[in-house]
Amino acid sequence: MKRARRAGALLAGGALLSGVLALPLGAQKVEDGKKVYDLKCAQCHGREGTPFVKSPEDPSEPQRDESGRAVVDAAKAPAAPFVLPRPRDFTKGSFKVRSTPSGEIPTDEDLARIVSDGMPGSSMPAWKDALAPSEVRDVVAYLKTFSARFKEEKPSKVLDMSGAARSDAGSIEKGRALYIENGCNACHGELGRGDGLSAPTLVDDWGNPVPPANFHKPWTLRGGSGREDIFRTFMMGLNGTPMPSYLDVFGDTPEGREKGWHLANYIESLGAGRPNLQQVLRGSYEESLPSGPEDPAWEKVPPVDFLLVGQVVAEPRQFTPSIDRVAARLFYNDGELALHLEWDDRVRDDADALEVQVPRRFAPPPGESTEPEKPYFLKGDKQHPVELWRFEAKADKVSSWTSTGLRSKPERLEGSGVVVSSASYRDGLWRLQIRRKLAPPEGAGVAFKPGWFVPVAFFAWDGSNGDSGLKGSVSTWNYLLLEPRTPKLAYALPVLALLAAAGLQAWLLGRKKPGKP
Identify the pLDDT of residue 490. 54
Helix axes 254-270, 227-236, angle to 10 degrees: 120
The per-residue pLDDT for 6 is: 40
State which amino acid sits at residue 499: L
Beta-carbon neighbour count of residue 419 at 10 Å?
A: 13
Higher pLDDT, 19 or 467: 467
CA-nearest of 294, 293, 322, 297 to 310 is 322
Query: Is there a common fold for 19-152 and 169-270?
Result: yes
Residue 123: pLDDT over 70: yes
Q: Is the pLDDT of residue 22 over 80?
A: no
pLDDT at residue number 60 = 86
- What are the two backbone dihedrals, phi and then psi, of residue 385, each rounded to the nearest 5 degrees? -70, 160
Computed over every residue of the chain, the mean pLDDT equals 88
Residue 256: band (very low, low, confident or very high) from pLDDT cuts 50, 70, 90? very high
DSSP assignment of 451-499 equals T-EEEEEEEEE-GGGT-BTTBSEE---EEEEEPPPPPHHHHHHHHHHHH
Domain coordinates in residue numbering, the chain: 19-152, 169-270, 280-363+373-489
Q: Name the region of 237 (left: φ>0; alpha: ψ -120 to 50; beta: rest).
A: left
CATH number of 169-270: 1.10.760.10
Residue 363 has pLDDT above 60, yes or no: yes
Taken as a whole, the chain contains a residue count of: 517
Give the tens place of pLDDT for each residue, 77-107: 999 998 888 999 999 999 999 999 999 999 9
How many angstroms separate the CA atoms of 413 and 80, rounded?
42
pLDDT at 348: 95
Q: Is the pLDDT of residue 298 over 60?
A: yes
Fold (CATH) for 19-152:
Cytochrome Bc1 Complex; Chain D, domain 2 (1.10.760)
CA dihedral of residues 345, 350, 352, 357 (deg, nearest 10): 150
Q: What is the number of other CB atoms lying within 10 angstroms of the CB of residue 362? A: 21
Residue 121 has pLDDT above 60, yes or no: yes
With a cut of 60, say whether residue 24 has pLDDT above it.
no
Query: Span 211-225, mean pLDDT?
Result: 92
Domain 280-363+373-489: give its CATH code.
2.60.40.1190
Q: Which of 151, 434, 401, 60 is nearest to 281 (CA)?
A: 434
Lowest mean pLDDT among 22-36, 101-115, 325-339: 22-36
pLDDT tens digit sequence for 154-207: 999 999 999 899 999 999 999 999 999 999 999 999 999 999 999 999 999 999
On the question of pLDDT at 18 being above 50, the answer is no
With beta carbons less than 8 A apart as the criterion, state whether 217 and 79 touch.
no
Determine how β-strand 418-426 pairs with β-strand 353-359.
unpaired
Whether 20 has a pLDDT exceeding 50, the answer reads no
CA–CA dist 314, 324 (Å, integer): 19
Predicted local confidence at residue 511, as pLDDT: 62
